């Protein structure tokens, strides 16, 4: 075991531990952002653009919309970063800004009826639901399975798009982005119990809708 004094002499431990050092580093980064440091903001965009884009794409379902929205999210972050008090992690705050802007855009899009309305094939012609597990359009080698995989994907995508934005939000954040319940509470502004309940309902609704469209149960 290393000498306690040696460990304490390490610059990281001087700051009071690894977590504290990370917190300090984030605090300094936020200070730079609040001072409108363009280089710091470039770093922030490069650090979070993939995560923000992926979340928005999953929420909106359209690549062009997601890219436009991602740019808007970062513009809003640039404007509002001086108001960030550091009560939560920076990443959580960025998620919150993204989700709120995204929900506003979804409401706007819903009003304009601009969402795609692709007609799906009749239920009897679709593949079994078992094939949906991990089967994606890119994975399937045979042409017939390729079409089946594609159809299953389309059904799931359509069912997600039909979910109410409040349910879609928790489902994506938890089951796809792997965020904790605590982070979900901070992002949505809901109580822990409400988040869990809403997530449970979202899963049930999605499952029921997929089963109804596919005509069989998910096992």
Residue pair 187/152 in contact by the 8 Å Cβ criterion: no
At residue 122, what are phi and psi to the nearest 5 degrees? -60, 150
Query: Where does this chain touch other proteins (CB under 8 A) — which range of 5-13, 15-23, 94-102, 195-203?
Result: 195-203
Window 154-173: residues binding other proteins (CB under 8 A) = 156-157, 159-160, 162-164, 166-167, 171-172
Q: Give the number of other Cβ atoms within 10 Å of residue 177's Cβ.
A: 16
Going by C-beta distance under 8 Å and a sequence separation of 6 or more, which residues neighbour residue 177?
A: 51, 54, 55, 95
Q: Which tokens sit at 134?
A: 């991990």
Using the rule CB under 8 A, is 63 a contact of other proteins?
A: yes
Beta carbon of residue 174, minimum distance to other proteins (angstroms, whole number): 8
In the complex with other proteins, the residue whose CB is nearer, 102 or 132, is 132
The dihedral through the CA atoms of 95, 101, 104, 108 has a sign that is negative
Using the rule CB under 8 A, is 9 a contact of other proteins?
A: no
d(CA 209, CA 180): 26
Query: Where does this chain touch other proteins (CB under 8 A) — which range of 20-28, 34-42, 83-91, 100-108?
Result: 34-42
64-71: long-range contacts, CB 8 A cutoff, minimum separation 24:
65/105, 65/109, 69/98, 69/101, 69/102, 69/105
Using the rule CB under 8 A, is 36 a contact of other proteins?
A: yes
Number of residues this chain uses to bind other proteins (CB under 8 A)? 62
Among 50, 80, 120, 123, binds other proteins (CB under 8 A): 50
Residues that bind other proteins in the complex, under the rule CB under 8 A? 36, 38, 42, 45-46, 49-50, 53-54, 57-58, 63, 67, 70-72, 74-75, 78, 129, 132-136, 138, 152-153, 156-157, 159-160, 162-164, 166-167, 171-172, 174-176, 190-194, 196-201, 203, 205-210, 218-219
């Amino acid at each position: 075991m290393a000498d306690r004094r040696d460990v304490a002499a390490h610059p990281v431990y001087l700051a009071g531990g690894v977590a504290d050092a990370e917190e300090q580093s984030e605090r300094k980064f936020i200070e730079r952002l609040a001072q409108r440091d363009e280089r710091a903001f470039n770093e922030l965009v490069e650090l979070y653009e993939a995560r923000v884009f992926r979340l928005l794409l999953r929420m909106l379902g359209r690549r062009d919309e997601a890219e436009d929205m991602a740019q808007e999210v970062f513009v809003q972050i640039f404007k509002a970063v001086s108001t960030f008090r550091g009560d939560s992690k920076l990443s959580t705050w960025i998620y919150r800004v993204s989700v709120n802007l995204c929900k506003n855009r979804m409401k706007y899009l819903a009003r304009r009826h601009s969402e795609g309305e692709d007609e799906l094939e009749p239920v009897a012609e679709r593949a079994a639901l078992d094939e949906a597990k991990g089967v994606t359009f890119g994975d399937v080698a045979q042409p017939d399975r390729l079409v089946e995989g594609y159809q299953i994907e389309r059904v799931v995508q359509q069912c997600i798009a039909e979910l109410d934005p409040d349910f879609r939000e928790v489902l994506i954040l938890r089951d796809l982005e792997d965020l904790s319940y605590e982070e979900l509470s901070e992002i949505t502004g809901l109580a822990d119990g409400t988040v869990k309940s809403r997530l449970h309902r979202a899963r049930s609704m999605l499952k029921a809708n997929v089963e109804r469209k596919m005509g069989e149960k998910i096992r």
